[in-house]
Amino acid sequence: WAPVDFERHGRELLASLREHFEHVRDVPVARPYDPAGLMARLDTAAPERGEDFSRILADTWDQVVPDLVQWNHPAFHGYFSTCASFPGVLAETMTAALNVNAMLWKTSPSASALELVVLRWLADMAGYPADADAVLVGGASLATLYALGAARDAAYPHDVREHGLAGPDAAVPRIYTSDQAHSSVDKAAITLGVGLRNVVRIPADSGYRMRPDLLEAAIAEDVAAGRRPVAVVATVGTTSVAAADPLGPIADICRRHGVWLHVDAAYGGLFALSTALRPALEDVSVGDSLVVNPQKTLFVPLDATSLHCRRRGALANTYRLVPEYLTSAHPGGAADFMDLSPQLGRGFRALKLWWVIRAFGLDGLRSRLDHAVALAGELRGLAAAHPDWHCPVPSDYPLVCLRYQPSDGPRTDTPEGRAALDALNARIVAELNDAGEAFVSHSVIRDGYVIRISLANIHTTADDITRLWAALNRVAEKTR
């Protein structure tokens, strides 16, 4: 292709995307699952000769897009739904076009400079010290892994990089987190050689918040037994119900015992920007490290996650390793982001954050987060006013957990009745998603199986909530 062909095909692509977005409400959010049929259509031999781009694009719309789950659909409410805003989508194109590697300041000076800038912006939004070390990484799971790697090394007086955990001081490492915390904590423990058996799951209270008294007791017991507390992972915005652990008391305990506090605010952290939620939010600045996930809440396309660490130098202490070919002499104040995580080659993630934050402005982002919070309030209000729906967990975040319990349905006070209600709610999720009108996910909490509805799409309106509520009721009536 010559640059002129690139432009021509780019216009073709943008025109087709425009049409897609203009009609996105008319397409199913997801199609019923058919792995064999899908593979039969897509699994061809690699072509020997290059093909025409218009054909490739047409095949993509015909063969690929219909079997994607439309995460950008205003009725997509699964998991922590994410939303790629238009400036973010365009930034990804620009990033791919420039294709810089932001591993060293020397390899990409203004990409590294912009990364420093957006990291400071994100820290300010979340209420974390702006002068902390920080780095953009490929997801919150990785951020937690990297933070816990640094915490592990900081917990041992001997050089863990040199000797590993079986070094001169081989005390068993322990990581504490609530029984509600994300599975990424367990994955980090596996990867770091800490082991799942050394992840101590602290029970949560009735509001799904980690109990500080039980945390303190667990740490004291381990210290008495000669085990080594490495880190506590507290969550702001838990995956199941968006609860927030009480960071103040947890931080006090960590300080008293000299234990690293990592705050997983992947979901909740950036709601500090919202007018509606900010006053009620936990103060994340008490964490030694913090992860926030703009890809979940700031309308930035996957992947965009930031890891912040106020223990200056700790990330580099674990991850800085410079082979000869990567040495550079650069001016003071510059950043070599390869020093702050195990990743070497890294893309220009900062650009999409820079574009999205500039395009919306803090005020634009704030009002959109407030809008999502208001929509969640509407949905909770509808459920509260209906005798057959329950909202078992009060939460201020735009994550709504609902349970269908028809008053003339199975009893809630027997195990059999509760199991029947679990099955009924699971069928509602399956039917609703199969119908393609909306996409929701689920969780199992103390009350049982709940339908989990995440509201994060920038295009979701009050009318969409009305439609979702009608669909939920229609499917529930039909399914019971």
What does the binding site for ligand PLP look like in residue numbers (CB under 6 A)? 80, 139-141, 182, 184, 235, 237-239, 264, 266-267, 293, 305
**Judged by CB, which is closer to ligand PLP: 177, or 318?**
177
Q: Which two tokens stand for residue 60?
A: 């993509």
Q: Is 451 helix (H, G, I), strand (E, B) or coil?
A: strand
Contact 273, 299 (CB under 8 A): no
Nearest-angstrom CA–CA distance, 44 and 35: 15
CB of 475 to ligand PLP, least distance (A): 25
CB of 282 to ligand PLP, least distance (A): 13
**Judged by CB, which is closer to ligand PLP: 290, or 421?**
290
**Judged by CB, which is closer to ligand PLP: 259, or 307?**
307
**Judged by CB, which is closer to ligand PLP: 182, or 308?**
182
Of 280, 340, 348, give the one whose Cα is nearest residue 314. Answer: 340
CB of 431 to ligand PLP, least distance (A): 24
**Judged by CB, which is closer to ligand PLP: 241, or 468?**
241
Contact 254, 233 (CB under 8 A): no
**Judged by CB, which is closer to ligand PLP: 260, or 267?**
267
In DSSP notation, 338-358 reads GGSSS--S---THHHHHHHHH
CB of 470 to ligand PLP, least distance (A): 28
Q: Is 22 helix (H, G, I), strand (E, B) or coil?
A: helix
Nearest-angstrom CA–CA distance, 225 and 441: 42
CB of 69 to ligand PLP, least distance (A): 15
Q: Please state, in angstroms and as integers, the Cα–Cα distance from residue 209 to each residue in 14, 150, 239, 452, following that order.
A: 45, 25, 12, 18
Contact 177, 185 (CB under 8 A): yes
CB of 399 to ligand PLP, least distance (A): 10
Nearest-angstrom CA–CA distance, 455 and 274: 14
**Judged by CB, which is closer to ligand PLP: 289, or 405?**
289
CB of 152 to ligand PLP, least distance (A): 19
Structure-derived torsion over alpha carbons of residues 308, 312, 316, 318, reported in degrees to the nearest 10: -90
